[in-house]
Amino acid sequence: MIPYVRLPMPACILGVAVLLMLGAGAQAQTDPLSSWNDGAAKSAIVEFVRATTTQGSPTFVPPAERIATFDQDGTLWVSHPMYAQVMYCLDRVPVVVKAKPELAKVEPFKTVLSGNREAIAKLPMEDLLKILAATLTGMTVDEFQAEVQKWIESAKDPRWKRLYTELTYLPMQELLGYLRASGYKTYIVTGGGQDFVRVYSERVYGIPPEQVVGSMAGTTYGYDKDGKPILTKEPKLLLNDDNAGKPEGIHLMIGRRPVAAFGNSTGDQQMLEYTKAGDGARLAMLVLHDDAEREYAYGPAQRLPDTKVGTFTQALYDEAQKQGWPVISMKNDWKRIFAFEQ
Amino acid sequence: MIPYVRLPMPACILGVAVLLMLGAGAQAQTDPLSSWNDGAAKSAIVEFVRATTTQGSPTFVPPAERIATFDQDGTLWVSHPMYAQVMYCLDRVPVVVKAKPELAKVEPFKTVLSGNREAIAKLPMEDLLKILAATLTGMTVDEFQAEVQKWIESAKDPRWKRLYTELTYLPMQELLGYLRASGYKTYIVTGGGQDFVRVYSERVYGIPPEQVVGSMAGTTYGYDKDGKPILTKEPKLLLNDDNAGKPEGIHLMIGRRPVAAFGNSTGDQQMLEYTKAGDGARLAMLVLHDDAEREYAYGPAQRLPDTKVGTFTQALYDEAQKQGWPVISMKNDWKRIFAFEQ
């Protein structure tokens, strides 16, 4: 048996030499961003990678500092009409009520159980937080992971009738792969629950759990009835990883400023500002949902319908123009949106 | 110029083949743990690595799951007579008082300024926390990093008259390198401040900032007078990364259970329990400070003097025996303790 070994440097150099001899021609033929149309957005990405990864470039970034952060909802996958994690929480309400039958007569659980979508959509934030607390805390970390795993492998989006995990954007998956192939460490930085996204991030995006930064709740260490150590999820918010919470979460979890950041809503603005405030070449981009036919259209109120799920205000659009943050038009910049499209 | 590239799989496989042909003989000659005496501790490490990294082994661990966590103070470097970070905080008191002269007459600052070591050593925890809050918070993250950097490159340990960073244990540095060469991702999991340790962890241990888990305080995102984004360190404790806080911090920051964990005090017990509670081969080890001549001797009260800095109780020793956690005797298991020793 050959034990797993990291390649020492000389072998790596030999490997590169072999690669250059055998595969350079074929390599040059393949466009790592083949689902992107040629245009300003694609050029900005390619130019940024060239500027930060070419030895001798004045804006070269050492591999250890190549950090790229991605919002998830609306940036890496579909978030309309409602965030997948909220759908999970709503789906879990019957289970919670079964364990505590007295909740059936109490709001907001009563409304959720009624199945009245319009009424559910109108629930105020305060009620939504009660549902989140009831469905995301109180169990062990292992139990939670198992529940999310089961759900994410079966629950389907109402429009496409496909698993939520099939609704990731192919051009963004290509971008993740392209950055990683260029030595970047890719992170998800989401307003969603850190523990929730970690369940599928490696399989779906190639991003391991330790590279997921999200809204974080505390856990309590203890022992089960057999004396086995357990971690229980508590309704104690440590960090709301949205808006100003995104740079705060990045500092907490990574401890380095990103070199590139990607978002799609006002909740991502501070992450983009923080990224761009570093020295040298930096890339900050926003995905604009302007394709009602292939996905959804919402955004700057003067041009597209307003939304509370992934709000992209006119002010954010103006800021992007002013700061030079390229805006990605799903309609014009993306040849294909989903891998399942023909 | 050749841009930095990650090796695609075929090149890596070729690289391994080349390595096996050219270097296998030389490789086998070098003991990666040459500062360790042969004995139970060293054997436990080598056997664990073999069991978890040999393809086909029933306890094989896939590379992505190879997580090893290390306490810092007393496990990776000297923590007596006092933790380096506390020395930093005490050294910073004059600067804090200069900015706020009214503190000079207030305890505990008055005692610290007096320079009376005995009185300083007797300050109660409550006073120590006041000093920590005054010296570790209120500044921007960048300012803090610059201050720690300056201090760590100049402050010296009173006994050895050497930089604190020279007082890391050579056998543990070898262990970090050996585990990394075996595909393990090494993390520091310290009761010390996460932001403090991150300043030097990469240079001193080869552990990047994103792999440092420590006691965590919140930051607040804002803007300086020129409108540039800043993060300010707040006196708001998010997690005390000691005792039960260690597995909680590991879950928060890594999201995976370690396969191996190393500590030296009661504050590490829960981390070791949590690690061992996973399936398959797991390694949990404790460093025992039993070498008064070459370092210090403190530990289980029945055998060694008690201490409040890195407490190793008899109960912990008994637990280690019961659970099969190998105890590393600095006196018997380590040939050399420091790299500077001849």
Q: Measured on CA atoms in the order A149, A219, A237, A201, is the torsion positive or negative?
A: negative
Q: How many contacts, defined by CB atoms under 8 Å, are there between A and B? A: 182
3-state secondary structure chain A: CCECCCCCHHHHHHHHHHHHHHHHHHHHHCCCCCCECCCHHHHHHHHHHHHHHCCCCCCCCCHHHCEEEECCECCCECCCCCCHHHHHHHHHHHHHHHHCHHHHHCCCHHHHHHCCHHHHHCCCHHHHHHHHHHHHCCCEHHHHHHHHHHHHCCCECCCCCCEHHHCECHHHHHHHHHHHHCCCEEEEEEEEEHHHHHCCHHHHHCCCHHHEEEEEEEEEEEECCCCCEEEEEEEEEEECCCCCHHHHHHHHHCCCCCCEEEECCHHHHHHHHHHHCCCCCCEEEEEEEECCCCCCEECCCCCCCCCCCCCCCHHHHHHHHHHCCCEEEHHHHECCCCCCCC
Q: Do B19 and A7 touch (CB under 8 A)?
A: yes
Measured between CA atoms, the residue of chain B closest to residue A243 is B221
B299: phi > 0 → left, psi -120 to 50 → alpha, else beta; which? left
Task: Note the pLDDT tens digit of each residue in B79-90.
Answer: 999 899 999 999
Chain B partners of A185 at a C-beta cutoff of 8 Å?
210
d(CA A48, CA A324): 13
Q: pLDDT digits over A234-247, tens only?
A: 999 999 999 999 99
Q: Looking at chain B, which residue has its C-alpha nearest residue A244?
A: B221
Q: Is the pLDDT confidence value at A35 over 70?
A: yes
Please indicate whether, in this complex, the C-beta atoms of A182 and B5 are within 8 angstroms of each other. Answer: yes
Instruction: Measure B119 CA to nearest chain A CA, in Å.
Output: 35
Residues of B in contact with A203 (CB under 8 A): none
**What is the reported pLDDT for B302?**
64
Sign of CA dihedral A66, A67, A73, A77: positive
Beta carbons of B5 and A210 less than 8 Å apart = no
Q: Is the pLDDT of residue A82 over 80?
A: yes
- Mark out the alpha helices in chain B (DSSP H runs): 9-29, 40-53, 84-99, 109-114, 117-121, 125-136, 141-152, 170-181, 194-198, 201-205, 245-253, 269-276, 314-323, 330-333
pLDDT in tens, A103-146: 999 999 999 999 998 899 888 889 988 999 999 999 999 999 99
Best of B231, B237, B238, B239 to mutate (most A CBs within 10 Å, chain A): B231
Question: Which residues does residue B238 pair with via DSSP β-bridges, in sequence order?
Answer: none
User: Going by C-beta distance under 8 Å and a sequence separation of 6 or more, which residues neighbour residue B111?
Assistant: B119, B120, B123, B127
This complex has an ipTM of 0.90
In the predicted model, what is the mean pLDDT of residues B105-128?
Answer: 91
CB contact under 8 A, B63 and A4: yes
Cβ–Cβ gap B239/A244 under 8 Å:
no
What is the tens place of the pLDDT at every residue in B53-109? 999 999 999 999 999 999 999 999 999 998 999 999 999 999 999 999 999 999 999
In B, minimum Cα distance to A208 occurs at B64
- Chain B residue with minimum CA distance to A222: B244
* Residue A231, min C-alpha distance to chain B (Å): 7
C-alpha distances out from residue A183 to A64, A144, A178, A277, B8, Å: 8, 33, 9, 22, 12
Nearest to B338 by CA among B294, B286, B273, B308: B294
Residue B331 has what pLDDT?
96
Tell if the CB–CB gap between A64 and B273 is shorter than 8 Å.
no
All residues of chain A having their beta carbon less than 8 Å from the beta carbon of residue B19 are 5, 7-8, 10-11
Measured between beta carbons, the chain A residues lying within 8 angstroms of B11 are: 15-16, 18-19, 23
What does the mean pLDDT of chain A come to? 91
Query: Phi then psi for B6, rounded to 5 degrees?
Result: -75, 140
Give the mutation candidate from A7, A221, A237 for the B interface (greatest B CB count, under 10 A). Answer: A221
Q: How does residue B155 score in pLDDT terms, banded at 50, 70 and 90? A: very high
CB–CB contact B220 A181 (8 Å): no
Task: Decide: residue B234, CB within 10 A, 0-12 exposed, 13-18 middle, 19+ buried.
Answer: middle
Contacts of B21 (CB under 8 A, 6+ apart): none
Interface test with B, best of A231, A243, A246, A276 (most B CBs within 10 A): A231
Average pLDDT over residues B235-245: 96
Q: Which residues of B touch A56 (CB under 8 A)?
A: 1
Is B22's pLDDT higher than 60? no
**Residues in chain A closer than 8 A to B64 (CB atoms):** 202, 208
Six-digit token string for B165? 């960073």
Q: Do A277 and B182 touch (CB under 8 A)?
A: no
Q: Which residues from chain A sit within 8 angstroms of residue B209, using beta carbons?
A: 254-256
Inter-residue contact A159 to A294 (CB < 8 Å) = no
**Contacts with B274 from chain A: Cβ below 8 Å:** 221, 229, 231
pLDDT in tens, A160-198: 999 999 999 999 999 999 999 999 999 999 999 999 999
Closest to A278 (Cα-Cα) out of A304, A317, A250: A250
Q: Is the pLDDT of residue A11 over 70?
A: no
Q: Are B185 and B68 in contact (CB under 8 A)?
A: yes
Q: Do B219 and A6 touch (CB under 8 A)?
A: no
Whether the ω angle into residue B108 lies within 30 degrees of 0, i.e. cis, is: yes
Place of tokens 């009602």: A292
3-state SS class at B181:
helix
User: Looking at the predicted structure, is the pLDDT value of residue B327 above 80?
Assistant: yes
Cα of B220 to nearest chain A Cα, Å: 7
Q: Cβ–Cβ of A255/B53 closer than 8 Å?
A: no
For residue B310, give the amino acid letter: G
Per-residue pLDDT reduced to its tens digit, A307-318: 788 889 899 999
Nearest by CB: B141 against A6, A216, A251? A251
Under the banding of pLDDT at 50, 70 and 90, the label for residue B29 is: low
Contacts of B65 in chain A (CB under 8 A): none
What distance in Å separates residue A201's CA from the closest CA in chain B?
Answer: 12
Structure tokens that stand for B258 in this block: 């370690």
Q: How far is CA B175 from the centre of its chain?
A: 13
Instruction: Provide the pLDDT confidence category of residue A304 given band limits of 50, 70 and 90.
Output: confident
Whole-angstrom Cα distance, residue B105 to residue B114?
11
Task: Choose the mutation target among A9, A19, A22 for the interface with B, i.e. most B CBs under 10 Å.
Answer: A19
pLDDT on residue A4: 41
Q: Which residues of A touch B9 (CB under 8 A)?
A: none
The angle that helices A269-276 and A245-253 make with each other, rounded to 10 degrees, is 60
Q: Are B268 and B261 in contact (CB under 8 A)?
A: yes
User: Nearest C-alpha of chain A: how many angstroms from B3?
Assistant: 5
